[in-house]
Amino acid sequence: MEVDKKEEIASDSSEQVVNPWEVSAKDGGKIDYDKLIDQFGCQRLDESLIDRVERLTSRQPHVFLRRGVFFAHRDFDLVLDAYERGDKFYLYTGRGPSSEALHLGHLIPFMFTKYLQEAFKVPLVIQLTDDEKCMWKNLSVEESQRLARENAKDIIACGFDVTKTFIFSDFDYVGGAFYKNMVKVAKCVTLNKAMGIFGFSGEDHIGKLSFPPVQAVPSFPSSFPHLFPGKDKLRCLIPCAIDQDPYFRMTRDVAPRLGYSKPALIESSFFPALQASGENGKMSASDPNSAIYVTDTAKDIKNKINRYAFSGGQDSIEKHREIGANLEVDIPVKYLSFFLEDDAELEHIKKEYGEGRMLTGEVKKRLTEVLTGMVERHRMARAAVTEEMVDAFMAVRPLPNMFE
C-alpha cells in the first residue's frame, strides 16, 4: 500500500486525478475533497461520529479526527454500532516499502492506527507489500524484502503493542488460507473490471494484474487462521489515505459474494509537501527538501522549515501586520494543524498570525519545536527496535489478549 504521493507527474488535467499511483489537482489548484467524496461515493466523517467515538472510547478523539485530517469513511458508523453492541473489530493497514527513508507523511496513517488500537482495544494486522514494490518499482526480491524489514522497524517505533499486532510481508506470508482467499477474490473480478479500476493496459505485466487481491484479502478474518479462528464474521476497519479507495471499493464489491462482511474504511487527506503551493505540492522522494524525514537531525529540521516551508505571510513586516497571513496556503500552520495537540494553542496561533500580530518566524519556530520533539521521540523508539523485536512482531503466532 503506497502512501507517499505523486511519483508520476500529471499531465495537464482539467479534472483532478486520484488513484493509488497518481494524485493531482485540477489545473494545479487544490484538491477538491468534497468532489472526491462524491466521485468515490464515500461519506464525510461528521461531528456526530467524532462525538460518538469520544463517548465510546472515553477519551479525547485523536488530533487527526478533531482537525479533519481523517475526514471520510465507508461504514464507520456500522462498525461503531456493532462495537456498542459488543461486537469487536480488527484494524488493517499497510505500507508499500519502496524506500528506506520515511517522512512524516508516511507516519500519519500509523499514528492514527495506533490511536485506534489503544482507544478501541482491538488487534491490528499490518501488511508490507514488498511484492508490489518489487513489481512496480522494479526492485529485486531481496531488496524489497530488506526494505520491508527496515520499514517494519519504523512502524514498530510508532508504538504498536506487540501483544495485539501482527506485521507480515507478502513474500513471507502469502500462502495457505490467505492464498485461498486471494483466489476466491480473483475469481470475482474480470480483467476488464481490473483494467477499469486500476488503469491496467495490455502493456502491463501480469504480475501487476494479479496484485490487487493481495491487498484485498487482509480485510477478511479468515485470511489469518492463527489470529481469528472461527471468527469469520469479525469486522475489519481500514485506516488509509483516500487514494487507496479503489482497492477497497473492489474488495467491498467482492465481499458479499464470498459471504464476508464488507470492510469499513476511514480515510485521510493528503499531507502537503514543504514547498507546496496550495495543496498540490508534490512530495518527491528524490527531493529531500520537500519533506521532514524521521532521520533528520534537529538542525536539519530547523533548516528545512526555515528555508523551504512555504509561507503564507506577507512580503514585508508592515504589510503583514496590516493584512495578516494567508492561512490557506501557509504550510507551517497546516503542519501545526496536523501535529500540534493543543486545540486552544492552535486557534490562538491561527488568530494572531491571520490578523498579522504574529510573524512567520514565530510560527516556524513553534513548528520546529513540535516536529523536533516528534522526530526525536521516534528516533529513540526506533533505536530500541531490535531484530528480535521485528521477528516477534512478524511471527505467525496467536494473540490471546488481543481484545483487552
* Residues lying near other proteins in the complex (CB under 8 A): 54-55, 58-59, 84, 86, 118, 156, 159-163, 377, 381, 384, 386, 388-389, 391-392, 395, 401, 403-404
| Nearest distance, CB of residue 388 and other proteins, angstroms | 4
Distance, CA of 404 to CA of 115 (rounded, Å): 15
Assign residue 307 a region (left: φ > 0; alpha: ψ between -120 and 50; beta: otherwise): alpha
Q: How many CB atoms lie within 10 A of CB 24?
A: 21
| Nearest distance, CB of residue 391 and other proteins, angstroms | 7
Cβ proximity to other proteins, 104 vs 265, nearer residue: 104
| Nearest distance, CB of residue 155 and other proteins, angstroms | 12
Cβ proximity to other proteins, 74 vs 378, nearer residue: 378
| Nearest distance, CB of residue 161 and other proteins, angstroms | 6
Cβ proximity to other proteins, 80 vs 240, nearer residue: 80
Give CA 192 to chain center in angstroms. 28
| Amino acid at residue number 108 | I
Please name the residue ranges forming H helices in 296-359: 298-308, 317-323, 331-339, 343-354
Distance, CA of 339 to CA of 64 (rounded, Å): 8
User: CB of 315 within 8 A of CB of 256?
Assistant: no
Give CA 58 to chain center in angstroms. 24
Distance, CA of 378 to CA of 382 (rounded, Å): 6
What is the phi/psi pair of residue 73, to 5°? -155, 165
Cβ proximity to other proteins, 163 vs 297, nearer residue: 163
495490455: which residue's cell? 202
| Nearest distance, CB of residue 139 and other proteins, angstroms | 28
| Nearest distance, CB of residue 154 and other proteins, angstroms | 13
| Nearest distance, CB of residue 157 and other proteins, angstroms | 8
| Nearest distance, CB of residue 78 and other proteins, angstroms | 14
Cβ proximity to other proteins, 5 vs 153, nearer residue: 153
Residue 350: closest CA among 363, 365, 361: 363
Q: For residue 137, what are the CA distances in angstroms to 50, 96, 102, 148? A: 38, 10, 17, 14
Cβ proximity to other proteins, 83 vs 224, nearer residue: 83
Cβ proximity to other proteins, 51 vs 100, nearer residue: 51
| Nearest distance, CB of residue 369 and other proteins, angstroms | 14
513553534: which residue's cell? 366
Residue 155: closest CA among 209, 102, 86, 232: 102
Contacts of 321 (CB under 8 A, 6+ apart): 356, 357
Cβ proximity to other proteins, 323 vs 395, nearer residue: 395
Cβ proximity to other proteins, 285 vs 389, nearer residue: 389
